[in-house]
Chains A and B, each alone.
Chain A
Amino acid sequence: MSIAPRRPPAQWGIRLRRMLGGRSGWGGLLLQLLFLVALIWVGYEIVDNARGNLANQRIASGFTFMSHTAGFGVSQALIPYSEADSYTRVFLVGLVNTLAVSVVGIVFATILGFVIALCRLSPNWLIARIGGAYVEVVRNLPLLFQILFWYLAVLGTLPNPRQSVSLFDTFFLSIRGIVVPRPIGEAGLGAFLLALAIAAAVAILLPIYARRRLYRTGRRLRVWPVVLATLIVLPTLAMAIFGRPVSFEIPELKGFNFAGGARLPPEFVALTLALSTYTAAFIAEIVRAGIQSVPKGQMEAGASLGLSHGTTLRLIVIPQALRVILPPLTNQYLNLTKNSSLAVAIGYPDLFSVFAGTTLSQTGQAIEIIAITMGVYLLLSLITSALMSFYAWRLGRSMGT
């Protein structure tokens, strides 16, 4: 004979009370509301006082300056910019530059960090020691010092543009950066891109189909020749029918600098190198800790199944380690983004340099500009956090936890 379980009382009421009022119930809710009102009042007073005092001292305030003409040049703008544009445009240019250096830095730092962590864990004595030495040297030197080192001691020793190192007279390396031919879209570009997209879709979907089939029927389908053929044949066909997709503008030395071509400025290169090598040292330690947190038995189990060292790492150890790795890894990503504000030391026009620097000193509107800049860095950090949380959530779900 079985006893029917008692229906639990309606939970939502209790839960709501807990959530809003905490342990002290509805009285707690009242206290919280009072606290909120006090907070809003303090915030209002801060804004109101600031406005009054600025007016008293006749310091300009408000946000109208954002539409004024900036009137200064910026060395690297990934979106069209000229001196006649407004401070809003300067803000966007700086933001894009910050994003560019952060994203590229994060990608390189992650790859390098994983590689170094695997080096440190390698059974090979020499490789493990090299990994260890890298971490100890790089993470114990100040970042600003490393940025200046890359900029002045490494890139600063490159020859001037007239003596630049060139490859086939189309690629040039000098103290002004790396200059490469710039692709210019031609008539066949649209068709070429479409063909490439179709080929890419085939390359992604076909292996998925093959794996499903393998699970269902147990028969392996050899797809890579088909994928390779599609990737080569389709774009070539598009090129043959619709003409060349791009032509290249070859850079050439005119006057003091190279004219034409696309240029990677040394400030960007130095900052990216410094940020990614520095952060990689921390990431390496995080990854090592994550991998070592996975019980040794997992590795042995993989080996006893006949999996190679690499396959065991990739399929068994790293997915489990990722759960440990992700939260501190997010911290490092946030640090890298925020550290990119050291760019001003080497003249890289990031948000902090062109907006919280030049724009601030030209307009003198410290409060508004610092508030906007803080808001942007906060937003960037929150977005990064959210993306990483989403990834962690998906990872957790796929592992059934």
Chain B
Amino acid sequence: MKPAIVAFTFAVAAGLSQAAMAQPTKPGVTLERVQKEGVISCGVSQGLPGFSTPDDKGNWTGLDVDVCRAVAAAIFNDPTKVKFVPLSAKDRFTALQSGEIDLLSRNTTWTLSRDTSLGVNFAGVTYYDGQGFMVKKSLKVNSALELNSASICVQTGTTNEQNVADYFKGNNMKYEVIAFGTADESLKAYESGRCDVFTSDVSQLYALRLKLATPADHVVLPEVVSKEPLGPLVRHGDDQWFDIVKWTLFATINAEDLGITQKNVEDQAKLDKPELKRVLGTDGNLGEQLGLSNDWVVRIVKAVGNYGEMFDRNVGAGSKLGIARGLNQLWNKGGIQFAPPIR
């Protein structure tokens, strides 16, 4: 099976070749290698509408996918230079640790134990999420607190597995949890009636509900039982690569803040405003400090748009999911999305 192979190769590689493992931990190595190969490998999900999913022509789209494309645009000025590697929740960290991918952008929750013990660094938050429950409307359940003794389907290798245990135990409720290898297997078991409840991050519930035969027969309960800040992550050790991914994400948020959009980015770069000149690289050398070219933000926004545009196109009002901005609105518009300044 795949996870075993990845982990085994990893074990052998870790043991046998000091070079293969030690190299990427030095700053600068990842960018150098990526530039030589002309493509970045990006770990994504196995198909989650709105976040990372291939369309009928095999092109990947989604919010997480756009993060990969933004990084490719910043480096190569070409958002197509990404090799997408679909990973299950279980395999994702091993793939990053072993060097199979350069960047993991797969609706992954930022937690302390992952940040410290997995040898990874989280580069920021692309989506503030929380865990919820979906049930069939016919059950006439209005609150998660009515779910005592229910059977619950969940995907293995996620924070959801532990959150369910915490929530039900905390509320003195009995439950039976059945953990499947992939989200699709878990969803199929829920649809067949094996489980009363399907649990996942709320954004995923809305996305996966679209895959059900009759989405209208299912309802997402109001309770949100956990904090799930989702974001991209990189291997520990290469701080330059970490900075590039982190600031690519910040650049999209700053762009929205400054009103820079995919359409007007070229015109904005010509304006004589100090902040715009600095961000868009007509003044100073902020891009070069990252190891990129000075017009890096122009490249990013031209390729994928600003954060607001990415959100709307993939999961927001302009998409099939139609999720409200909510917490993911900018901090000065009622949300908590905030990026440190580019200066």
Q: Point out residues on A near B: beta carbons under 8 Å.
A: 45-47, 49-50, 52-54, 56-60, 71-75, 83, 152, 156-157, 160, 175-176, 254-257, 259, 266-267, 341-342, 344-347, 349, 352-354, 356-358, 360-367, 369-371, 373-374
Q: Which residues of A contact B162 (CB under 8 A)?
A: 71-72, 362
A-B contact pairs, 12 of them (CB 8 A): A73-B177, A156-B194, A175-B194, A256-B148, A256-B151, A347-B185, A352-B4, A364-B117, A366-B11, A370-B8, A371-B11, A374-B8
Measured between C-beta atoms, what is the minimum distance from A97 to chain B in Å?
Answer: 13
A361 touches B180 (CB 8 A): no
Chain B contacts for A54, CB-based, 8 A = 14, 119
Q: Which of B17-25, B203-211, B272-280 contacts A (4 or more CB under 8 A)?
A: B17-25
For residue B153, which residues in chain A have a CB less than 8 angstroms away from its CB?
A: 347
Q: Is the CB of A347 within 8 A of B149?
A: no
Residues of B within 8 A of A266 (CB): 194
The answer on a CB contact under 8 Å between B156 and A83 is: no
* Shortest CB distance B101–A (Å): 15
Determine whether the beta carbon of A256 is less than 8 Å from that of B7: no
Cα A56 to Cα B19 in complex, Å, equals: 12
Task: Say yes or no: is B338 at the interface (Cβ < 8 Å to chain A).
Answer: no
A61–chain B nearest beta-carbon distance, Å: 9
User: Which of B63-71, B164-172, B329-337 contacts its partner?
Assistant: B164-172
A175 to B190 CA separation, bound complex (whole angstroms): 11
Q: Does B216 sit within 8 A of A, measured CB to CB?
A: no
Is B215's beta carbon under 8 Å from chain A? no
CA distance A54 to B15 in the complex (A): 10
Q: Which of A56, A254, A256 contacts B22 (CB 8 A)?
A: A56
Among B90, B149, B192, B235, the residue within 8 A (CB) of A257 is B149
Q: Is there an interface contact between B193 and A175, defined as CB atoms closer than 8 Å?
A: yes
Contacts of B237 in A (CB 8 A): 56-58
Report Cα–Cα, A286/B82, bound state, in Å.
50
In the bound complex, how far is the Cα of B113 from the Cα of A384, in angstroms?
39
Q: List chain A residues, Cβ under 8 A from B4.
A: 352, 356, 370, 373
Measured CB to CB, the closest approach of chain B to A263, in angstroms, equals 9
Q: Which of B114, B175, B185 has the most CB of A within 10 A?
A: B185
Question: Which residues of B sit under 8 angstroms from A52, Cβ to Cβ?
Answer: 18
A residues less than 8 Å from B168 (CB atoms): 73
B236 at the interface (CB under 8 A from A): yes
Contact A360 B7 (CB under 8 A): yes
Q: Which residues of B contact A175 (CB under 8 A)?
A: 192-194
Contact bitstring B109-121, A, C-beta under 8 A = 1, else 0: 0000110111100
Let me know if B161 is at the binding interface, CB within 8 A: yes
The chain A residue with its CB closest to the CB of B173 is A255
How many Å lie between the Cα of A356 and that of B169 in the bound state? Answer: 25
Q: How far is the CA of A259 from the CA of B149 in the complex (A)?
A: 8
Q: Does B94 contact A366, Cβ atoms closer than 8 Å?
A: yes
Shortest C-beta distance, B234 to chain A (Å), equals 12
Number of interface residues of B (CB under 8 A): 61
Judge whether B147 is part of the interface by a CB distance below 8 angstroms. yes
Apart from the given pairs A58-B236, A256-B147, 15 other A-B contacts in the complex at a CB distance below 8 Å: A50-B15, A59-B97, A73-B177, A75-B177, A83-B169, A176-B194, A257-B150, A347-B178, A347-B180, A353-B179, A354-B179, A366-B7, A367-B7, A367-B14, A369-B7
Q: A256-B151, A358-B157 are in contact. Are A50 and B180 (CB under 8 A)?
A: no
Chain A nearest CB, measured from B252 CB (Å) = 28
Complex interface: chain B residues within 8 A of A367 (CB): 7, 10-11, 14
A255 and B148 within 8 A (CB):
yes
Verify B90–A357 contact, CB threshold 8 A. Answer: yes
Asked if B181 CB lies within 8 Å of chain A CBs, one says yes
Using a CB-CB cutoff of 8 Å, which residues 68-95 of chain B contact chain A?
89-90, 92-94
Scoring B97, B118, B147 by chain A CB atoms within 10 A of each residue's CB, the highest score goes to: B118
Q: Name the prevailing secondary structure of the B interface residues.
A: helix
Contacts of B158 in A (CB 8 A): 361
Choose among A57, A358, A361 the residue that contacts B21 (Cβ–Cβ < 8 A).
Answer: A57
Residue of A nearest to B164 (CB): A73
Chain B residues, CB < 8 A from A50: 11, 14-15
Q: Give Cα A226 to B162, complex, Å.
A: 59
CB distance from B155 to the nearest CB of A (A): 10
Select B165's contact among A72, A156, A259, beta carbons within 8 Å.
A72
In the assembled complex, the Cα of A363 lies from the Cα of B151 at a distance in Å of 25
| A residues less than 8 Å from B116 (CB atoms) | 58, 60
Inter-chain contacts of B97 with A (CB < 8 A): 57, 59, 364, 366
Say if the beta carbon of B16 comes within 8 Å of chain A: yes
- Chain A residue contacts of B236, Cβ below 8 A: 57-59
Chain A residues within 8 Å of B39, by CB: none
The answer, yes or no, to whether B218 is at the interface (CB within 8 Å) is no
How far apart are the CA atoms of A57 and B25 in the complex, in Å?
A: 7
Nearest first, the 7 closest Cβ-Cβ pairs linking A and B are A46-B15, A361-B157, A59-B119, A60-B117, A364-B118, A156-B192, A255-B149
**How many Å from the CB of A254 to the closest CB on chain B?**
6
Q: Shortest CB–CB separation between residue A74 and chain B, in angstroms? A: 8
B 207-246 contacts with A by CB, 8 A = 235-237
Q: Do A344 and B180 have beta carbons less than 8 Å apart?
A: yes
- Chain B residues with Cβ below 8 Å from A363 are 113, 117
Complex-state Cα separation, A365 to B7, whole angstroms: 10
Q: Is B52's CB within 8 Å of the partner chain A?
A: no
How many Å lie between the Cα of A73 and that of B179 in the bound state?
A: 9
Pair A53/B179 contact, Cβ less than 8 Å: no
Residue of A nearest to B165 (CB): A83
**Listed residue (B4, B90, B156, B157) with the most chain A CB atoms within 10 angstroms of its CB:** B156
A373 and B8 CA atoms in complex are apart in Å by 11
Q: Does B61 touch A at the CB level, under 8 Å?
A: no
Contact A345–B179 (Cβ < 8 Å): no
Determine the chain A residues whose CB is within 8 A of the CB of B175 once the complex forms: 73
Contact present for A357 and B3 (CB under 8 Å) = yes
Return the chain B residue nearest A176 by Cβ: B151
Residue of B nearest to A363 (CB): B117
| Minimal beta-carbon separation of A298 from chain B (angstroms) | 45
